[in-house]
Chain A
Amino acid sequence: DAKTTQPNSMESNEEEPVHLPCNHSTISGTDYIHWYRQLPSQGPEYVIHGLTSNVNNRMASLAIAEDRKSSTLILHRATLRDAAVYYCILREPWGKLQFGAGTQVVVTP
Chain B
Amino acid sequence: DTGVSQDPRHKITKRGQNVTFRCDPISEHNRLYWYRQTLGQGPEFLTYFQNEAQLEKSRLLSDRFSAERPKGSFSTLEIQRTEQGDSAMYLCASSSSKLNTEAFFGQGTRLTVV
A residues at B contact (CB < 8 Å): 2, 32, 34, 41-46, 49, 85, 87, 91, 94-102
A-B residue pairs in contact (CB < 8 Å), sample of 17? A43-B105, A44-B91, A49-B100, A85-B42, A94-B31, A95-B31, A95-B33, A95-B48, A95-B97, A96-B33, A97-B35, A97-B43, A97-B103, A99-B42, A99-B44, A99-B45, A100-B42
Question: In the complex, A98 Cα to B41 Cα: how many Å?
Answer: 12
Which chain B residue shows the least CB distance to A102?
B42
B residues at A contact (CB < 8 Å): 4, 31, 33, 35, 40-45, 48, 50, 55-56, 91, 93, 95, 97, 100, 102-108
Report which of A32, A41, A44 forms a contact with B43, defined as CB distance below 8 A: A44
Question: In the complex, A101 Cα to B33 Cα: how many Å?
Answer: 19
Report which of A41, A43, A87, A102 forms a contact with B93, defined as CB distance below 8 A: A43
Quick check: A97 and B41 within 8 Å, CB to CB?
no
Nearest Cβ on chain B to A88's Cβ, whole angstroms:
10
Determine the chain A residues whose CB is within 8 A of the CB of B31 once the complex forms. 94-95
Chain A at the B interface: mostly helix, strand, loop or mixed? loop
Which chain A residue shows the least CB distance to B107?
A43
Quick check: A46 and B42 within 8 Å, CB to CB?
no
Quick check: A99 and B33 within 8 Å, CB to CB?
no
Determine the chain A residues whose CB is within 8 A of the CB of B33 once the complex forms. 95-97
Report which of A34, A41, A87, A94 forms a contact with B42, defined as CB distance below 8 A: A87
Quick check: A96 and B107 within 8 Å, CB to CB?
no
Quick check: B45 and A98 within 8 Å, CB to CB?
yes
